[in-house]
Every structure is written in structure tokens, then in C-alpha cells.
Structure 1
């Protein structure tokens, strides 16, 4: 049985928005995995200029960026959150594991946060709206910081029983959630092991840990968070939606198509977000491959008539 199918209907029921606040240990862990990769990212430019970046590091970093990034976009987001397609069990588990390697939370908590975002997008209850403080320049700047990273440091957990009951009922997702800690270790230490084995040196292990572990993780974090922040302030809004979501083309490739955010909010369950001519959407292409291989079915590809009905009139 494919337990993960569609988004729950009762997102505004009597259950509270939040679960209990994170415990102290969980909060410290969150800070570590937000701050340390960011520090590594800041250190990357001077390190790359002087020493320490080899082809092996680049190849490992790109490989794990692709694996974990697609795990988030095609897996956590389009599949687990929105039910844009149905998947066989192996693909379902594989996507959940790959998404966990991005170190953005367990599948169930990630989905709960994002479904809450859609239920209250840019309104009270949205966990990361950049418009929460108002519309003045200073208020939006403060809101951008909050939407990008501040919301995660408040130690608030979206209520999983309200926003992700289907994942709580899915045994496979519960197992992957319990393995989140070990998967984080694999995401960080796996590159070091690969780098050490390929170069057969401790230096190779150390540089791979830095570039393909910390820097790769930080880069994917900030690309993902930019969809929460930048893609609700800057960009175009070709489709009517109930919020301020925008399409921001500069992030399209690195976010694997997620920055076509206005298109997504206009048609949340669609498997393709880049629905207009010339809009690159690598995640949609991957889902197409899954469909051709027989691993995915009932894919919700864009409907031209539905999109046309939501199209905003061009500016005069």
C-alpha cells in the first residue's frame, strides 16, 4: 500500500499549530547544523584561493548535492508533501533517505512545516513568511532574515499529527525518521570516507569533509531557505495565488526548479513547477524519468486549461 498519496484535507482543524517546543539538546543540535556549515561556506573562498580544493572534492560535493537536493525537491516536497505523483515502495523510501541527507529535518517534520506554510502562506500561522513584520523596507528586510533562517531557531515544531498524519501512519517514514541521526552522520562523514579512500590520504579525507560535507550542506541549506525568503519578495508573479510567492529565475538550476515558486503556489500539487516556456525544472525531468522507468505513476503534470485560468493579465 502506498501510504503517502495526498495532502491531508483538515489542515485548519482543532489541533494546535505547534507541537511542544524543541528540547535543549535538539535546539543546540539545530544551531550547530545551521551555524557550522555556514561558517564553512564563509571560509570557502579564501581556502579555495590558497589550497585544499581538488577535483575529487568537487565531484563528491556535486554528487551528494544532487542526491540530497533531489531528495528534498522531488522527494520531501513534490512527493511527500503534495502527492504530485505516486511511487513504489523502493522509490518512496529512497527519496525519504536522500532528502534526509540534506540535513533539513526528518521527512515527517519537514512535510509538517511545509504543509503549514501552504495552509497559512503569508498570513498569521505561516512558519516563515517574510511579510510577518509589515511592508516597510525595514520590516521586509527583518522578515527576509526571519524567513531565511530565523524561524528555524525559534524552537517551534509544526504539529505533525495535524499536518502530516499520513506520514506518521506510514511505518517506512517512521523508520526513516528514527534513522535521521545516523543519516546526518553519513551526510557529513561519508564524503570524508570517500575522499580518504579515493586519495588514500588523511588530507583527502579532510578536504572532502570540508567541501563535500560542510560547504555542500551549507550551500544547499541556503538555496532551499532562499525559496522561503527571496521567492516571496523578489521576482515575477505570472499566476494568481493567495499569497506573495514569486518566480525567481536565478535560483532555478541550483534549486532544481523550486524557485518557480509562484507557479507552484498557483498549482501546489503539480509535478512541474517551471510550467512556462523556457523555465528549466530539473526535478520535473527526474520525475519524468521515474515515470518512464515505471517507478512512479499517476503523475500530476500541468493542465493547460487550469493554468490558463490562473494566469495573471500581463502588465500594461
Structure 2
């Protein structure tokens, strides 16, 4: 597999210091940032653990379910279609309003600022499952103890690594874009918006504080925790197990049971075999809601130059 230009950008040694400060002040992750990151990961995860007893005591209303589902898939597609297939890999071109909408929608997933997310993922593709990969589960070796340790690292541990990916090196195109820099810098605003929309809607629909509280639990905490762990599972599970019908230079695999919740991202083997493809689920029966959404954008005239894989392109990447 060759590295596309969008995945391994050249050095950007002429970008102003103000642009760097707009995204990240340096390449070291401070203690306060790591503590904040731990809270954002830990609190929703504890909420996820409490799902069963809370549901048993209060029940899960249709309003809560609807809010959580809508918020989940808006944010999930913001990540998969926006952060991943558009911003990271350039799988299609989009009109400016759609670009801004995808940047904000992806930020609602609370998976970190846009520019940092893209830089990490481009570096991941450059060194996939080799030294330099930010989150390979094979980091410590191939024995069972090493793999268990590596799975933890790939799933969550890497998020606390003090060494951060250079955004100037891996995402100079985004650093140069004032609007994208601003959206990335205002990550804390999108975090508040993402957490407050569910209780606001739940409270207004039920006209009660209890409705706001249950909507906050299910639509904010549980929804964020579930989306986080599904996303991290692409880094960990999909690089440890799964079928590999396509040729790639790493251990990426297709994991079918994550396809719906990951919005098509768990067809990960094809993605690493053909990173710029707008569709990851290319075989019969492989559900890829992100590809469907891109198709709708194309039909509406909002997206163009979509890199759809044709039969010849797919066949060239098959292992047999």
C-alpha cells in the first residue's frame, strides 16, 4: 500500500506561530490536560457501567432513547464522514457549508479537537502497526500478555501519552485554514453543546427536571461513553482480530459486529488497503452508513469528486 499525499503531508516550516497556538501550543501533553482527558473518559464510562441498575430503577423512556440515538449517529457520522473520510483522507470534495457542518458534528463526539484528531490518524496510517504508530495493539509484541497490554494501549492508553503528534507536520492543510483552526480551538464549546443538548431537549419535551436528568444520563453520558468505546475499538479490536480479504501492510481486520455502531468504520481491512476510498464496506452485505450519507451528499450537489471504488480497484486489492 502506498501512502497517499493526504496521509503523509510534507513539513510545513513556514506556518506562522499564531497558527500553531491556535491549535496546540507545543508537542507535550500537560498534567492538567491529562487529568481533564481522564475525566472526560472516566465519567461517561462510569455512567455506562451504571446503565443496568439505572434502567432497572427508572426505566428507559422513548424520548431518552430517541435523543440518545439521534445524538449518537449525528456525532458518529461527524467523525466517520467528516473527521475521517473527508478531513483525514480527502475521499471527496465538499462545499464550504458542508465542511463546516462536518467539522462541528464531529466535534460533538468529544474525541478531541479536529486538527489533533486528523494529525493522529494520518500518523497512524503512515506507521500502521509499526514503530511510530500512536495506537497499535502490537506495540509490546505478539505474546498473549503483550497483546493484552497492547489492546489496552490501543484502546485508551495512548490518549494519555505525553508525546503528541505534530500537527504542523501531519495536518498543515488544516492548520492553514482559519475556520477549521477556530472550530478545533473551540473544542470545549462543542463539548458543552454536545452535553447540554440532550437535557435541554428532554426537559422541554417532558416539561420536567426529571426528563432533563434522564435525557442527560442517556443522551449525554451513556451516548458519549458508547461512542468513545466503539471508536477506540477500531484502533484496538480491528487491529487484533477480524477477516482480512484485502492486502494491507498491517494487521487491520474487518469486524462485522461493529459495523452498525461504527457507521461502517469496522470494515477496517479495506480501509487500510485503500485509505482514500469513500466506501469501506465494499463487499455484499457490508453495511456502511457513512458511504450512504456521502452518496446522498453527492446526489444533493454538496459533494463531488467522490472516490468510489470500482470493481477493478477492489479486485486489485483482494488477497486471492
**Which bracket does the TM-score occupy, shorter chain normalised?**
over 0.9
Q: Distance in 1 between matches of 2:105 and 2:59?
A: 27
Counterpart among 25, 40, 49 of residue 42 in structure 1: 49
C-alpha contact 1:8 1:165 (8 A) present in aligned 2: no
- 2:163 is matched with which residue: 156, 160, 163? 156
CA contact (8 A) 1:6 1:81 kept: no
Q: Could you tell me how far 1:309 is from its partner in structure 2?
A: 1.6
Q: Kindly tell me: are residues 95 and 59 of structure 1, through their superposed partners in 2, closer, same or farther at Cα, counting changes over 3 Å?
A: same
SS at match of 2:66: helix
| 2:140 pairs with 1:133 | yes
Query: What residue number does 1:211 align with?
Result: 218
Taking the aligned partners of 1:151 and 1:109, their CA distance within structure 2 comes to 13
**Counterpart Cα distance in 1 of 2:171 and 2:12:** 13
1:161-202, CA deviations, whole angstroms, 9 ceiling, x for partnerless residues?
Answer: 000000001111011112211110011111111111111111
- Looking at structure 1, the residues matched to 5 and 180 of structure 2 have their Cα atoms a distance apart, in angstroms, of 15
Give the distance between the partners of 1:6 and 1:210, measured in 2 at CA: 42
Looking at structure 2, the residues matched to 6 and 289 of structure 1 have their Cα atoms a distance apart, in angstroms, of 26
User: 5+ unaligned residues in a row in structure 2: which ranges?
Assistant: 14-24
Superposed CA deviations along residues 256-281 of structure 1, whole A, max 9, x for unmatched, are 00000000000000000001111110
Query: Is the contact between residue 266 and residue 310 of structure 1 (CA under 8 Å) also seen in structure 2?
Result: yes
Aligned partners of 2:34, 2:262: CA distance in 1, in Å?
Answer: 27
Deviation at 1:239, TM superposition (A): 0.4
- TM-score, with structure 2 as normaliser: 0.92
Aligned equivalents of 2:272, 2:306: Cα separation in 1: 18
Separation in structure 1 between the aligned mates of residue 37 and residue 103 of structure 2, nearest angstrom: 20
Give the match's secondary structure for 2:220. helix
Quote the Cα distance in structure 1 between the aligned partners of 2:59 and 2:7.
48
> Gaps spanning 5+ residues in structure 1: where?
none
TM-superposed deviation, 1:303: 2.6
SS of 1:277's partner is: coil
Kindly tell me the number of residue pairs found equivalent between the two proteins.
Answer: 307
1:194 matched to which residue of 2? 201
Q: SS where residue 162 of structure 1 aligns? A: helix
Q: How does 1:1-316 map to 2 (within 5 A)?
A: 7=6, 9-10=8-9, 19-313=26-320
Which portions of structure 1, spanning 4 or more consecutive aligned residues, are displaced by more than 4 angstroms?
11-14
1:52, CA displacement in angstroms? Answer: 4.6
Could you say what secondary structure the match of 2:50 adopts? Answer: helix
Contact 1:104–1:221 (CA under 8 A) maintained in structure 2? yes
CA deviation string 1:274-295 (max 9, x = no partner): 0111111000000000000000
